[in-house]
Structures are given as structure tokens and as C-alpha cells.
Structure 1
Amino acid sequence: MIGVVLQARLDSSRLPAKALLDLQGKTVVQHAMAALRRVSAAERFILATDPGSAEFFRQKAEAEGFELFIGPKEDVLRRYADAARHYGLELVIRATGDNPLVSWEIAEETLSLQRAGGADYAVCTESPLGTGVEVIAVPALLTADTYAEDPYEREHVCPFLYRRPGEFTISTAPVRESRRCPTERVTLDTLDDYRYIAGLFRELYGGTPVGIDRLIAYFNERSSSDTGNGAKNT
């Protein structure tokens, strides 16, 4: 069984409660959930949070067709492992609630990459930061949970795996060429990020999730416009 597991929290030190900020009438985390609901291969959709944040997310998760799972606050690796055990998952699509432009198309591309090599860990690279996901085979996830001791590896879930390419099968590849735009950043960490992403949503959001191809086209159009304006001013 394939499950989307989206982690979310409230206590970001740089931008508290960022997952609940508004973007065109929906919160950041709701936009992420709405996009990930489009992953056609997924059978379970789970919002994994901590006890102190759960009640802030419960209704929003239910509204977007996600089940709420509550796990440890700091040990996010354990939270993922517990969720995988609880729901009987075989593959986990990992995403984070501060990426409102996460791409279901790239999630499906990453699933294909994982399946092609039977990887323990798979990720597609070179898309705008904040649009991608990680795909993890649950046996590898449970091994990480058993043996990881480094606090960084427990907080960030996947480093235990990709730091050990001799022990796990790691698959990485660029996204398809038309989706490559590694210089762009659409993840939410700071107030400036929020202002920038809010502007993107004003331009692009029409009531349904913004697809990666539309996002890349927008970046390309903007780049062409900027280049043209620059040429006129020289």
C-alpha cells in the first residue's frame, strides 16, 4: 500500500504557524494536501503532526480527505515509522506542510523512479525547491527508525538512508527536462517567502492546485519578460 504522509507543525522558530497562513482563501497546508490528493497511485493520505498541533490541523485534514496521525514532536523519523506501521504502508511519499506548491506530477515521477530500481529511497532533482517529494520503502524506513541515533537523522527522516548508499539502494535523477528549474524556490521559511508565494498564488491560483507545468511556464514567461526589459534599457 502506498501512502502520502505529509508532516506539519506549528512551532517554526522563523515563521510560527506558517502552515496555517492564508493563500487565496486556503491555508498553506491545505494547498499541499489538495495537490497531493491528486497522486493517483496513493491509497492513504495522512497528515502527521505532534500532540500540541493536532487540534489546529484536524478539521483541515478532514476537509481535504486526509487522516490525522499524531506522533512524537521532535522525533519525526519515529512519527513516520509509527504511521507506516499503523496504516500498513509499503511505500511512503514524504512531503512537508510548508510547501503549498508541492507537485503531484513530480510525486508520480518519483514513484516511477523508485519502482524502476526497487529503491529504498528515491528523489527527483532539479525542480523548483518546494515542489518535490521523497519516496521511501517502508522496510528501509523501519530500519532507520531502529538504528538512527543522530538527532539530525531523527528530525529529518531520510538522512540515515541517503548517507549510507552502501547499505541502501538510493535512486536519484533529474525530473523531466521541461520541469527543471532548480534556481527557483517556493518553500516557506520566512515572511519574505510568504510574501513571494502569496504573489504567485494571486497570479496562478484559480481554485484548483497549481500544476508544475503551469508554474514552470510562469517562471519562463517572467524570465523572458525580465530579459526583454533589460535589453530595452541597455
Structure 2
Amino acid sequence: MNIGIITQARMTSSRLPGKILKEVKGKSLLTYHIERLKHSGFPVIVATTTNETDNPVIDFCINKGIPYSRGSEENVLSRFYNAAVENNLDIIVRVTSDCPLIDPHLIRNSMEKYLKFNNENLYVSNVIDRTFARGFDFEIFSFRLLEDAYKNATESADLEHVTPYIRKNIKGDTEFYDIKQSKNHNDLRITVDTAEDFQLIQELIVTFDADLLPYNGIEEILLQHPELIAINAHIEQKKV
């Protein structure tokens, strides 16, 4: 089984352009993101667009020796499919590059659970019945499910967000497994989409070395410091 993490990345965020290459302590958010993902033990592939505005992402990947794939800005599903084909993946972990503090061991442990099922119709994630802070998001699915979505999805939302078609379970044979924790921290926000989000990440890394901590350590810092939560508590996540 070839397992790979595909992360989508682009420079033209509507609310915070260029966010993934913004730096904290001399390192870009994309560097933190990929360095943490590599601790999972799985290869990481960056899926970006063919737009010239994303040439800096390609330069980053070349300089860091990270595999990349370029495709449509709007049809992210096709971008993921092509990245999976180019890297001969059997199992895909989907993440997004606006999560610089994503937890690699959470992904690794969840993959071990996924593999035990030995079921290519299985979709595993922590994003449907959400109990983790937003920013630790991941989805695991087979190439077969990805290919089925690529060949059959037609609605713009399905193409833009990659997995909605899989979640619709139109054929009725997809099985779902939610990764959850006992405490519900889904109201915490550790993803980066706005200047306030970046401010929080900066504070977490500079003051608390959050880039060296697991997800529960980061969540605990926030719970102990409500002033940190307040930095971006008013930010609404974009609707899928």
C-alpha cells in the first residue's frame, strides 16, 4: 500500500493573501505544516495551482525537496486526483496548508485504525463529528473513493472541496469512521485564514513553543489562556 499525505496550498487566500509563506521565528507557516506532517512517517505532496501566483509555492517545494503537483485552482478534486496518480498512491490523507500546527501522531494513529479495517470503501476523518480544535483536520480515504468522486462529481462544491461527493455516499457502500476525543474542543480555532488567526499562531509558537507540542498540549494552552482564545474567537469559518 502506498500511503501519502496531500496538502492543498495556494497563495491567493481571499482573507489573508500569501498566508502560507508568512513567517514566525524565521520559518514560514508552510514549513511548520510540512515539518510536522513528516513526523507521521508518510510522504507529503503539495497540490497547488497552475497560476503564476503560486510559483512561490513551487519554488518553496523545489528548495525543500518536496514533491508537488499543479492543477486547477477551482477544481481541487482534480488536483488531488492527479497528485495521487502521479505519486501512485493507494491511500490518501487529505489536509490543508492553513493548519500549521497539525498533529502528525494523530494522523499516524488514525491511519493505523484505518488499515485494520482493510476496507477501501472506508472514509476516516475528524471533521464530520468534530471534537478536535479546528486546525487538526484530516481525512483518510482510498484511491478508489477518490477516483469515483473524480469521475462522477459535477457540482461546483464537490469539485472545490474534494470530499463532499464521498461523504454524500451516493452508491451507499461507503463506510464512515469518526476520530473523536473524549472532550469536545471544536470551538477552538488553530487554523489560519485571517490576520487574527495568524496572530494567535504567532503567539502560540513564539511564547509557548506550540510547534513542538502535540494537539492536546496546544488545546490545553488555549484552555488555560482565554485571552488567546479571544484573539480569533469572532472569526467565522467559511462555509463548505
Same fold by TM-score, threshold 0.5 exceeded?
yes
- 5 Å-filtered alignment, 1:100-139, equals 100-117=100-117, 118=119, 119-124=121-126, 125-139=130-144
Structure 1 segments unaligned to the other structure (5+ residues): 227-234
Q: TM-score, normalised by structure 2?
A: 0.83
The Cα offsets for residues 122-152 of structure 1, whole Å up to 9 and x where unpaired, read as 1024111011211121011001000000000
Asked if 2 retains the 8 angstrom alpha-carbon contact of 1:162 and 1:170, the reply is no
Q: Give 1:17's aligned residue.
A: 18
- 5 Å-filtered alignment, 1:80-119, equals 80-117=80-117, 118=119, 119=121
One-letter amino acid matched to 2:30: V
| Worse overlay, 29-38 or 45-54 | 45-54
Greater Rg over alpha carbons, structure: 1
Q: Structure 1 stretches (4+) deviating beyond 6 angstroms?
A: none
Instruction: Give the counterpart of 1:201 among 198, 205, 229.
Output: 205
One-letter amino acid matched to 1:113: K
When residues 11 and 195 of structure 1 are mapped into structure 2, their CA distance, relative to the original with a 3 A threshold, is same
SS in structure 1 at match of 2:225: helix
Instruction: Give the counterpart of 2:224 among 202, 206, 221.
Output: 221
Give how far 1:109 is off.
2.9
Asked if 2 retains the 8 angstrom alpha-carbon contact of 1:129 and 1:182, the reply is yes
SS in structure 2 at match of 1:102: coil
Q: Give 1:30's aligned residue.
A: 31
What is the RMSD of the two structures over their aligned residues, measured on CA atoms? 2.2
The Cα offsets for residues 85-120 of structure 1, whole Å up to 9 and x where unpaired, read as 111100011111111111112212331332233243
SS in structure 2 at match of 1:92: strand
Q: Give 2:47's aligned residue.
A: 48
Q: TM-score, normalised by structure 1?
A: 0.85
Quick one: distance in 2 between partners of 1:218 and 1:65?
33
* 2:150 is equivalent to residue 145 of structure 1: yes
The Cα offsets for residues 209-233 of structure 1, whole Å up to 9 and x where unpaired, read as 432132133134336xx9xxxxxxx
Quick one: distance in 1 between partners of 2:177 and 2:215?
19
Q: Give 2:40's aligned residue.
A: 39
When residues 161 and 170 of structure 1 are mapped into structure 2, their CA distance, relative to the original with a 3 A threshold, is same
Instruction: Give the counterpart of 1:210 among 209, 213, 227.
Output: 213
Instruction: Give the counterpart of 1:188 among 187, 192, 196.
Output: 192
One-letter amino acid matched to 2:135: G
One-letter amino acid matched to 2:71: G
Quick one: distance in 2 between partners of 1:63 and 1:37?
16
SS in structure 2 at match of 1:177: coil
Q: Give 1:232's aligned residue.
A: none
SS in structure 1 at match of 2:68: strand
One-letter amino acid matched to 1:196: L
Asked if 2 retains the 8 angstrom alpha-carbon contact of 1:92 and 1:135, the reply is yes
SS in structure 1 at match of 2:46: strand
SS in structure 2 at match of 1:194: helix
Asked if 2 retains the 8 angstrom alpha-carbon contact of 1:114 and 1:122, the reply is yes
Give the percent of matched residue pairs that are identical in Structure 1 and Structure 2.
23
SS in structure 2 at match of 1:161: helix
When residues 154 and 137 of structure 1 are mapped into structure 2, their CA distance, relative to the original with a 3 A threshold, is same
When residues 171 and 116 of structure 1 are mapped into structure 2, their CA distance, relative to the original with a 3 A threshold, is farther
